[in-house]
Amino acid sequence: MLEFSTQVSDVLIEIKELLISKNKKYGNSALEPLGVFSQLSAKDGLLIRIDDKLKRIKNGSLDRDDEDVINDLIGYLVLLKIHANQESNFDELDGSHKWKSVKDKQEMIKLMKANLKDSI
């Protein structure tokens, strides 16, 4: 059996290659979303993707060979960490990740959509 440090290195190399490959293929769309159909921030988009992967795991995706959900999830978590390192308002130290701010913005968007709908 391989040493723990070797196993960790091997997995991290695999994730690194996955992320670099997808970045070459799709551009930096996870951290710099185009915003044509969705106005979500990069962080919100990543959180939705992470949530989707967790739901797939919960629903038994690990038993199927159609995709590598674990590697995708780890990749999205790495991208979220990169985003956190780039954003000063993404406060990991207090564990809040400013979720209240995200929720407040979501509520504001809902109200704006409702007001817009009423005025049309």
Instruction: Tell me the per-residue pLDDT of 45-88, one tens digit each, with 9 for 90 and over.
Output: 999 999 999 998 888 877 776 668 999 999 999 999 999 888 76
Residues 19 and 44 in one domain: yes
Query: How many domains, in total, are found in the chain?
Result: 2
Cα 100 to Cα 27, 83, 106, distances in angstroms: 30, 18, 10
Residues 101 and 62 in one domain: no
Name the CA dihedral angle for 64, 70, 71, 76, rounded to a multiple of 10 degrees.
130
Residues 81 and 107 in one domain: no
Residues 68 and 116 in one domain: no
Q: What is the pLDDT of residue 94?
A: 46
Residues 8 and 55 in one domain: yes
Residue predicted with more confidence, 95 or 75: 75
Residues 81 and 103 in one domain: no
Q: Is the pTM of this model over 0.85?
A: no
Write the CB contacts of 61 (distance below 8 Å, at least 6 apart in sequence): 67, 69
Q: What is the pLDDT of residue 93?
A: 44
Residues 113 and 78 in one domain: no
Q: What is the pLDDT of residue 67?
A: 67
Residues 70 and 110 in one domain: no
- Looking at the predicted structure, is the pLDDT value of residue 91 above 60? no
DSSP H stretches of helix in 27-98: 42-58, 69-86
Q: What is the pLDDT of residue 45?
A: 92
Residues 71 and 40 in one domain: yes
Using a 10 angstrom Cβ sphere, with 0-12 exposed, 13-18 middle and 19 or more buried, the burial of residue 90 is: middle
Q: What is the pLDDT of residue 33?
A: 86
Residues 82 and 112 in one domain: no
pLDDT band at 15 (very low <50, low <70, confident <90, very high): very high
Measured distance CA(14)–CA(19) in Å, rounded: 9
Contact 105, 49 (CB under 8 A): no
